[in-house]
Amino acid sequence: MTAGRFGDFGGRYVPEALIPALDELDEARRSAMADPTFLDELDRLHRTYTGRPSIITEVPRFAEHAGGARIILKREDLNHTGSHKINNVLAQALLTKRMGKTRVIAETGAGQHGVATATAAALMGLDCTVYMGKVDTERQALNVARMRMLGAEVVPVDHGSATLKDAINEALRDWVAAVDTTHYLIGTVTGPHPFPEMVRDFHRIIGVEAREQVLEHTGRLPDVVVACVGGGSNAMGIFHRFIEDEGVRLVGVEAGGEGLEGRHAARFASATPGVLHGAMSYLMQDEDGQTVESHSVSAGLDYPSVGPEHSYLRDTGRAEYVYATDDEAMEAFALLCRTEGIIPALESAHGLAGALHLGRELGPDAIILVNLSGRGDKDMHTAAEWFGLVDDVVEDDEIVPPGESDDPGATGDGRTQL
């Protein structure tokens, strides 16, 4: 058993060429986390750039649909760049400078991590290349423009399935060739050690703040903490501070896509352990061990594996994992918009769908803390098509609503509303 294991999960399944860089990173992050100068700088950025601490918001009108349980949202959507991703990105960008490297690379699916990375690179004067599946660059054209506006190079990846997993493959290839000057700024709690542990630690602030805030607001700990799980960073971030609080249930919500009979990304409901992108974890794979493509309405949850620490929390029973289908997530998405005036990210809407179920199960005395990991502006295009918000959305779902809709509720191409 090597370092960086969570039970049987995790490890370092990467080319030997990368091992020295991973050792260097491990060393750098350990010394940084014990260095007051680094921690002060990170704290200053959290306060003066990201806008931390993020607030909590109780949502009683939404909670009426959840058996009357009290539902409290941790508002990571209010962070600069619109999601929790910035917590990890700023910290890794600082580490990049600490290691004397001048360039960062990143993978991105929906574009949120890419935008956050491009932002941090602009802030800190680093070169930045973002790999993005070609399919995703087309689906998320405006995020591509945002990254380019921020000075990043965006490279569409058109082999394999041309989605997130292939973007990660390409980023790994770049990293091997450029590791002297380049840090691979991984966007979630996956990848070879030390990434899962390090990225978790950089997001841990979510749970640290939320625990205090809920105690202050309600006088007690929540009964359940709920978060959506793609790679698993926002979930690890909010779960971690609660792990020793044995009475607090931790529930991760995966993307159920079309349901288990169709295409989905419910790894824990269907998958077996395997290795992808450097880590042993639950993995959607066929009989031969080839990766099976995942699917979700939400690009940020559309990944065939999951952070190794989640696999450990699941197998040890400390956390539970459920899934919400595309339909359930879209319903929760609409409900939060209409009842509370908050447009959540589609990823976060999966967490909300989970909370609706849990509330009905637990009843009015329960307190449920949900990580609202991001805001939904980026998802307006998908939502407009899903709910038929734009009059001239034609049957053919290839067609993007043009700019001249008369519907006052939707000016133009949903994507331009970002």
Partner 1 sequence: MSTEVTASAEPGTGDTDRGVASVIERCRAEGRAALVGYLPVGFPDVETSIRAMVAMVESGVDIVEIGLPYSDPVIDGPVIQRATEAALRAGTHVVDGFRAARAVRDAGAPPLVMSYWNLILRRGVDRYAAELAAAGGAGLITPDLIPDEAADWIAASDREGLDRVFLVAPSSTPERLSRVTAASRGFVYAASTMGVTGERASVGPAARDLVERTRALTELPVCVGLGVSNGDQAAELAEYADGVIVGTAFVRALTGDGQDGDVEARLEAVRELARDLARGVRERRQS
Ligand X SMILES: Cc1ncc(COP(=O)(O)O)c(C=O)c1O
Q: Which positions are annotated as active-site residues?
A: 85, 107, 373
Under rule CB under 6 A, residue 228 binds ligand X: yes
Kind and range of the H or E element at 315?
A: helix 308-315
Task: Compute the least distance from the CB of residue 184 to partner 1, in Å.
Answer: 12
Residues 300-319 that bind ligand X (CB under 6 A): 300-301
Nearer to ligand X, 300 or 308 (CB): 300
Residues 250-279 that bind partner 1 (CB under 8 A): 274-278
Contact mark string toward partner 1, 155..194, x via CB under 8 A: ----xx----xx--x--xx--xxxxx--------------
Which of the listed partners (ligand X, partner 1, none) does 246 bind, with a CB threshold of 5 to 8 Å by partner kind?
none
CB of 59 to ligand X, least distance (A): 17
137 binds, among ligand X, partner 1, none (CB under 5 to 8 A by kind): none
Question: Out of 12, 29, 113, 146, which residue is the one contacting ligand X (CB under 6 A)?
Answer: 113
What are the CA-CA distances from residue 253 to residues 79, 169, 285, 399, 405 (Å)?
22, 26, 20, 31, 36
What is the rounded (10 degree) CA torsion for 196, 40, 147, 174?
-50
Member of 4, 192, 232, 304 binding ligand X (CB under 6 A): 232
Q: Give yes or no for residue 234 binding ligand X (CB under 6 A).
A: yes
Q: How many helices (H) and strands (E) does the chain have?
A: 16, 14
Are the CB atoms for 329 and 255 separated by under 8 Å? Answer: yes
Answer whether 49's CB lies under 8 Å from 345's CB. Answer: no
| CA pair distance 263, 197, nearest whole angstrom | 30
Whether the CB-CB separation of 378 and 348 falls below 8 Å is answered with: no
Question: Does position 401 bind ligand X by CB under 6 A?
Answer: no
| 88 forms part of the interface with ligand X (CB under 6 A) | no
**Which C-beta is closer to ligand X: that of 76 or that of 170?**
76
The answer to the question of residue 112 lying near ligand X (CB under 6 A) is yes
Quick check: 233 binds ligand X (CB under 6 A)?
A: yes
Distance from CA of residue 51 to its chain's centroid?
A: 19
Task: Considering the complex, state which of residue 13 and residue 387 has its C-beta at the smaller distance from partner 1.
Answer: 13
Q: Is 94 within 8 Å of 124 (Cβ atoms)?
A: yes
Nearer to ligand X, 354 or 405 (CB): 354
Using the CB atoms, write b or e for 302-316: b if 16+ within 10 Å: bbbbbbbbbbbbbbe
Q: How far is the CB of 301 from ligand X (least distance, A)?
A: 6
Under rule CB under 6 A, residue 117 binds ligand X: no
Shortest distance in whole angstroms from residue 345 CB to ligand X: 4
Asked whether the beta carbons of 208 and 178 are under 8 A apart, the reply is no
Nearer to partner 1, 88 or 163 (CB): 163
Q: What angle do CA 59, 52, 112 make, to 5 degrees?
A: 80
Report the residue number whose CB is nearest to ligand X.
374
Helix residue ranges, H only, 306-413 = 308-315, 326-340, 346-362, 380-387
Is 295 an interacting residue with respect to partner 1 (CB under 8 A)?
no
Task: Select 292 or 399, whichever has its Cβ closest to partner 1.
Answer: 292
Kindly report the number of other CB atoms within 10 A of residue 1's CB atom: 8
What's the residue count for the chain?
Answer: 418
**Choice from 9, 14, 38, 83 touching partner 1 (CB under 8 A):** 14
Q: Angle at Cα 8 formed by Cα 241 and Cα 292, nearest 5°?
A: 95
Strand (E) positions, 11-58? Answer: 56-58
Q: What are phi and psi of 60, to 5 degrees?
A: -65, -35
414 lines the binding site for ligand X (CB under 6 A): no
Asked if 291 interacts with partner 1 (CB under 8 A), we say yes
Q: Kindly tell me which of 3 and 399 has the beta carbon lying closer to partner 1.
A: 3
Q: Does 231 bind ligand X (CB under 6 A)?
A: yes
